[in-house]
């Protein structure tokens, strides 16, 4: 990074940016027809009542999928108002964020390199490297794009502060850091990135530089504590991967090595990379890599190769949080974790070599064609959940997580034969995966094989005290009219989670069938206080209101039910029944119910609407 500036015309930078903008829709064309996927997209967008209602208080005070990122949630709420369930708008916005980040990378790299063509190549690698695709193509990962935008802006204002020593740039750096944290807690490593900039610019860490970062570190620690609490509350701390600290250090080194390899040879990329099978060998490789990495950094510092050292330290600083020292999720590594770290490797690589302008132009062309082609092909994987999980299984056929997820997707599509096949395969690969037993139990429940469903739910509960399995088993007991067992299971869940929507709903159904209507109504109210988006909840409470002869309340709930699902035939039928009791004409509602295939409406339609 110590090269003399190459003086190009002022407009050269704009030409490079224009070229990137032209290439973007070509490389990522397949994402314009991509859909949502069943990993987290539903929790963040499709089934999120807070997002649908634009509930600002909830968006800024609640945890979602084990994280606190209110500004990202706010962007989904805006998208929902604009696009609803159409995925195109969401993908276009993700693409715009990635494009903006690419432009920032170009500007930042130009400041560091003092060389437009090198900065352009770094920006192209950042934009089109296939490991970056996961962060952009996955709607639920938008938070990575957004926090990176503020992160990169903050680095630029900090460089400006170093250049001009004006306090306002440090204030802007802190503000951008705060915004980055509100997009994603991963930004807590920002102070370390600033120290890397200090090393590059000043060639040392001074006491003054460290004191400047104290407010940044305080805020990082605070958000780190909140994030750990959110992960624990959402049960995202993965106890199945609770290795000893020595094992975790070895795995961390192994993970970093994997990230380096994938950056330079992006082959066999996958959304899931399982933990290595041979723990001892992988851990040993990890320790060897760590020792080599630390020694290399020492030698670079001793020989004053600050450009390379800066890149390597930036790379490792931005990976620290995802090296599984605190085990979360199901994987050791993930492409999305490389979104910013890949920059560090690019900067280190370009600092390592001195390349002539003509050679740089050839490299830029090769990079565009090679990485652009790979990303264009890989973008097709994100067409839908089936494509995504199928791709994982091609790479890792023994991944129980992917097999289970593919089974769940086929179950959602009511292709029960394929679903049961994949659930069985998932269980054969990992007999301790409680989620596979839980999902297979759901399939048996949907196909009314209640004994098989109970067996699987019992196994899931045996493997882990899994609240969802208790609720599902309670629902099966309810369908079998074994009300005492159903009530017992639902109450077990409510003892630790009194606001569990489905447990309250099962209890309400039980007490409704037992004709204990006041109790039933209380549990329906508790379930619906969470503002669920399930029309059957409103229908069941409406029936209880009808039994209590509160017809106005019943009709309000039924209207809410058909508002959520305009094709809900049973709700129109009960609307007709309520209107009969109110001495109003039920004919339109009964006819609508019959047209929608609810045959029970035929007899009252003939009786009241001749």
Residue 543 CA, distance from chain mean position: 38
16-57 residue pLDDT tens? 999 999 999 999 999 999 999 988 898 899 988 889 989 999
What per-residue confidence (pLDDT) applies to 133? 94
The yes-or-no verdict on residue 353 having pLDDT over 80 is: no
Task: Read off the pLDDT of residues 478-515 as tens digits, 9 standing for 90 and up.
Answer: 999 999 999 999 999 999 889 899 999 999 999 999 99
Task: Tell me which residue range forms the domain holding 219.
Answer: 12-236+247-383
Residue 601 covered by a domain: no
CA 563 – CA 585 distance, rounded (Å) = 20
Provide the pLDDT for residue 355: 78
pLDDT, averaged across the chain: 90
> What is the tens place of the pLDDT at every residue in 388-424?
999 999 999 998 999 999 999 999 999 999 999 999 9
How many domains does the chain fold into? 1
pLDDT at 113: 84
**Is the predicted pLDDT of residue 295 greater than 50, yes or no?**
yes
Report yes or no: 509 and 478 within 8 Å, Cβ to Cβ: yes
485 within domain boundaries: no
Least confident range of 55-64, 153-162, 336-345 = 55-64
Q: Percentage of residues in the chain with pLDDT exceeding 90?
A: 69
- How far apart CA 461 and CA 469 sit, in angstroms, is 6
Q: Is the pLDDT of residue 193 over 80?
A: yes
- Distance CA(364)–CA(318), nearest Å, equals 26
Residue 348 lies in a domain: yes
With cut-offs at 50, 70 and 90, classify the pLDDT of residue 238.
low
Residue 450 near residue 444 (C-beta atoms within 8 A): yes
Report pLDDT digits (tens) over 105-128. 999 999 988 888 899 999 999 999
Which range of 10-14, 150-154, 239-243, 265-269 scores highest in mean pLDDT? It is: 150-154
In a domain, 394, yes or no: no
Task: Give the three-class secondary structure for 304.
Answer: coil
Lowest mean pLDDT among 148-157, 280-289, 330-339, 450-459: 330-339
**pLDDT score for 239:** 52
Residue 172 has pLDDT above 90, yes or no: yes
Integer Cα distance of 552 and 557 in angstroms: 9
pLDDT of 424-461, one tens digit each?
999 999 999 899 999 999 999 999 999 999 999 999 99
d(CA 504, CA 523): 5
If we measure between CA atoms, which residue out of 435, 488, 432, 477 comes closest to residue 453? Answer: 477
In the chain, % of residues over pLDDT 70: 95
Per-residue pLDDT at 1: 46
User: In which band, very low, low, confident or very high, does the pLDDT at 226 lie, cut at 50, 70 and 90?
Assistant: confident
Any domain includes 467: no
Does residue 225 fall inside a structural domain? yes
Q: Is the pLDDT of residue 610 over 80?
A: no
pLDDT > 60? residue 202: yes
E strand spans, 340-498: none
- Domain assignment present for residue 363? The answer is yes
CB 99 within 8 A of CB 27: no
> Is residue 433 a part of any domain in this protein?
no
pLDDT confidence band for 190 (50 / 70 / 90) = very high
- How much is the pLDDT for 234? 53
- Integer angstrom CA distances of residue 581 from 295, 332, 370, 516, 536: 83, 61, 71, 22, 21
Please give the pLDDT value at position 26.
95
Mean pLDDT for the stretch of residues 98-102: 97
């Amino acid at each position: 990074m110590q090269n003399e500036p190459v003086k190009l015309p002022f407009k050269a930078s704009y030409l490079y940016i224009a070229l990137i903008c032209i290439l973007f829709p070509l490389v990522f064309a397949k994402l314009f027809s991509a859909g949502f996927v069943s990993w987290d997209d539903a929790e963040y967008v499709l089934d999120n009542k807070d997002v649908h209602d634009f509930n600002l208080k909830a968006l800024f005070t609640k945890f979602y999928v084990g994280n606190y990122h209110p500004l990202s949630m706010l962007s989904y709420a805006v998208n929902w108002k604009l696009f609803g369930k159409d995925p195109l708008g969401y993908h276009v916005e993700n693409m715009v964020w990635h494009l903006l980040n690419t432009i920032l990378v170009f500007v930042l790299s130009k400041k560091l390199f003092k060389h437009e063509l090198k900065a352009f190549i770094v920006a192209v690698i950042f934009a089109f490297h296939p490991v970056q695709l996961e962060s952009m193509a996955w709607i639920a990962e938008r938070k990575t794009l957004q926090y990176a935008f503020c992160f990169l802006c903050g680095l630029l204002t900090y460089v400006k502060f170093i250049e001009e020593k004006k306090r306002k740039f440090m204030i802007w750096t802190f503000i951008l850091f705060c915004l980055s944290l509100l997009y994603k807690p991963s930004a807590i490593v920002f102070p370390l990135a600033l120290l890397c900039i200090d090393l590059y610019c000043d060639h040392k860490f001074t006491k003054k530089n460290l004191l400047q970062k104290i407010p940044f570190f305080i805020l990082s620690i605070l958000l780190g504590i909140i994030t750990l609490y959110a992960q624990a509350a959402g049960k995202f701390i993965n106890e199945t991967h609770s290795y000893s600290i020595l094992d975790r250090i070895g795995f961390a080194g192994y993970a970093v090595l994997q990230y380096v390899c994938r950056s330079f040879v992006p082959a066999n990329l996958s959304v899931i990379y399982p933990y290595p099978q041979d723990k001892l060998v992988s851990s040993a490789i990890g320790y060897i890599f760590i020792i080599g990495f630390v020694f290399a950094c020492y030698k670079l510092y001793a020989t004053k190769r600050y450009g390379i050292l800066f890149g390597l330290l930036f790379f490792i600083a931005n990976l620290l949080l995802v090296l599984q020292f605190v085990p979360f999720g199901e994987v050791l590594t993930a492409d999305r974790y490389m979104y910013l770290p890949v920059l560090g490797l690019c900067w280190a690589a370009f600092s390592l070599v001195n390349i002539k302008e003509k050679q740089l132009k050839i490299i830029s062309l090769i990079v565009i064609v090679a990485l652009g082609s790979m990303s264009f092909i890989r973008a097709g994987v994100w067409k839908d959940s089936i494509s995504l999980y199928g791709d994982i299984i091609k790479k890792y056929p023994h991944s129980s997580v992917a097999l289970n997820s593919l089974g769940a997707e086929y179950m959602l599509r009511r292709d029960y034969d394929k679903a049961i096949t994949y659930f069985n395969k998932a269980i054969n690969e990992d007999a301790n995966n409680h989620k596979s037993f839980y999902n297979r139990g759901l399939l048996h429940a949907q196909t009314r094989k209640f004994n098989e469903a109970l067996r699987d739910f019992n196994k899931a509960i045996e493997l882990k005290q899994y609240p969802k399995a208790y609720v599902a088993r309670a629902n099966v007991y309810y369908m079998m009219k074994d009300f005492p067992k159903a009530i017992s299971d639902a109450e077990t869940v409510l003892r630790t989670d009194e606001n569990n929507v489905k447990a309250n709903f099962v209890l309400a159904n039980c007490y409704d069938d037992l004709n204990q209507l006041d109790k039933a109504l209380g549990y329906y109210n508790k379930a619906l206080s969470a503002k669920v988006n399930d029309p059957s909840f409103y229908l069941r409470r409406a029936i209880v209101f009808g039994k209590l002869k509160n017809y106005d309340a019943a009709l309000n709930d039924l209207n809410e039910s058909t508002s959520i699902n305009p094709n809900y035939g049973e709700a129109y039928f009960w609307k007709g029944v309520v209107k009969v009791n109110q001495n109003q004409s039920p004919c339109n509602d009964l006819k609508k119910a019959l047209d929608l295939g609810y045959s029970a409406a035929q007899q009252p339609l003939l009786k009241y609407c001749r």
